[in-house]
């Protein structure tokens, strides 16, 4: 027992010493990198905005490294295996923590291999329908789907995308039977909806706002729990389906063993960047809200979403092909 207590004290002292050494050393002293998805995507867009702000704040260049292949697996594995020195960060959305439910195996564990830095941004989806569909509200859409079980269908891109999860959660909570038509990306899915090949979809405000204004699509509701300043004219899905909420969320992570002092510093810098008026405006203009949270809050959110949406994935039998 005495030996175990002695060893425990040595380990605690070593941890304190490491933290003190990290705090005493300047950071950063070289360029940092943010690993994210493919060029031109939403994650890449956000990483570049935040990276530019961090470059100004830290006095070191923040490089963006695009590793979007395999649905985020390569990006996640790259960061999970990186040195835990604060210089390599992952900026990605829910794909990272939902892929273990969609695939037989992934080369990382979303909880054990990463330390959450902050929830960076979130974006609700819009429930949109083709104008030929005789439904002008969520209530009417649910009634129509119940009257025609299995006849209505929805399109989405990747199986574990925010669009798919929003729809499957809606289908489950509203108690309706609608068919899933998967496409190879959000672009083809949206084109199919505009052409009337599918009847409804949950899509990001930025991707459908032009089509809503032109009348090619009809917006019924927004997926945030409360009315959103992004679309104050739309009711929430939750006003008809109590408890419903589905938002696309993107956050920053570092390798799990990153020292607490560095994690705290990175969190402070990210939150500072996200609070900048110029950063907030750039995100708002594409239908995204900046957040900024503590590492503990973000970690708890990831675990909660894995529990909630993991069940939806299992119940719907969703699997990536």
Q: Per residue in 84-123, pLDDT tens?
A: 999 999 999 988 999 999 998 999 999 999 999 999 999 9
Which residues on neighbouring strands pair with residue 122, listed in sequence order?
A: 249, 289
Lowest pLDDT segment from 5-14, 63-72, 222-231? 5-14
Tokens of 72: 């985020």
Mean pLDDT of the chain: 90
Q: What's the pLDDT tens digit per position in 33-48? A: 999 998 888 899 999 9
Bigger pLDDT: 8 vs 43: 43
Q: What's the pLDDT tens digit per position in 199-243? A: 999 998 888 999 999 999 999 999 999 999 889 999 999 999 999
Which residues on neighbouring strands pair with residue 123, listed in sequence order?
A: 248
Q: Give the model's pLDDT for residue 65.
A: 96
Tokens of 222: 């927004």
Helix/strand/coil (H/E/C) assignment for every residue in the chain:
CHHHHHHHHHHHHHHHHHHHHHHHCCCCCCCEEEEECCCCCHHHHHHHHHHHHHHHHHCCCEEEEECCHHHHHHHHHHHHCCCCCCCEEEEEECHHHHHHHHCCCCCCCCCCCEEEEEEEEEEECEEEECCCCCCCCHHHHHHHHHHCCCCCEEEECCCCCHHHHHHHHHHHHHCCCCEEEECCCHHHHHHHHHCCCCCEEEECHHHHHHHHHHCCCEEEEECCCCCCCCCCCCCEHHHCCCCCCCEEEEEEEEECCCCHHHHHHHHHHHHHHHCCHHHHHHHHCCCCEECCCCHHHHHHHHHHHHHHHHHHHHHHCCCCC
Whole-model pTM: value is 0.85
Distance CA 16, CA 21 (A): 9
Q: Give the model's pLDDT for residue 308.
A: 92
Q: Give the model's pLDDT for residue 20.
A: 46
Q: Give the model's pLDDT for residue 36.
A: 95
Q: What's the pLDDT tens digit per position in 140-153? A: 999 999 999 999 99
Task: Give all domains of the chain, ordered by start, each with its CATH number.
Answer: 18-122+249-316 (3.40.190.150), 126-239 (3.40.190.10)
| Mean pLDDT (whole number) for 76-84 | 97
pLDDT at 245 exceeding the cut of 80: yes
Q: Give the model's pLDDT for residue 24.
A: 53
Q: Give the model's pLDDT for residue 321.
A: 62
pLDDT at 25 exceeding the cut of 70: no
Other CB atoms within 10 Å distance of the CB of residue 183? 19
């Amino acid at each position: 027992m005495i030996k175990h207590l002695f060893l425990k004290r040595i380990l605690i002292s070593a941890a304190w010493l490491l933290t003190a050494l990290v705090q005493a050393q300047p950071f950063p002293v070289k360029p940092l990198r943010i690993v994210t998805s493919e060029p031109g995507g939403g994650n890449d867009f956000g990483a570049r905005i935040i990276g530019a702000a961090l470059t100004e704040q830290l006095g070191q260049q923040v490089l963006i490294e695009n590793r979007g292949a395999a649905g985020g697996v390569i990006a996640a594995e790259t960061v999970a295996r990186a040195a835990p020195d604060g210089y390599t960060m992952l900026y990605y959305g829910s794909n990272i923590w939902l892929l273990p439910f969609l695939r037989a195996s992934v080369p990382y564990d979303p909880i054990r291999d990463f330390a959450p830095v902050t929830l960076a941004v979130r974006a609700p989806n819009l429930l949109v329908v083709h104008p030929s569909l005789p439904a002008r509200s969520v209530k009417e859409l649910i009634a129509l789907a119940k009257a025609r079980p299995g006849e209505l269908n929805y399109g989405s891109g990747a199986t574990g995308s925010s669009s798919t999860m929003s729809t499957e959660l809606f289908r489950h909570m509203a108690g309706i039977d609608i068919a899933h038509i998967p496409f190879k990306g959000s672009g083809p899915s949206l084109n199919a909806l505009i052409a009337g090949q599918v009847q409804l979809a949950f899509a990001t405000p930025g991707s459908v706002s032009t089509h809503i204004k032109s009348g090619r699509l009809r917006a019924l509701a927004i997926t945030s729990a409360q009315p959103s300043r992004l679309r104050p004219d739309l009711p929430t899905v939750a006003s008809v389906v109590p408890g419903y909420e589905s938002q696309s969320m993107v956050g920053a992570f570092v390798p799990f063993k990153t020292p607490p002092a560095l994690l705290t510093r990175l969190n402070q810098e990210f939150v500072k960047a996200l609070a900048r008026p110029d950063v907030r405006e750039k995100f708002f203009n594409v239908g995204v809200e900046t957040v900024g949270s503590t590492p503990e809050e973000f970690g708890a959110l990831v675990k909660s979403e894995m529990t909630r949406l993991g069940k939806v994935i299992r119940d719907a039998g969703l699997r990536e092909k």
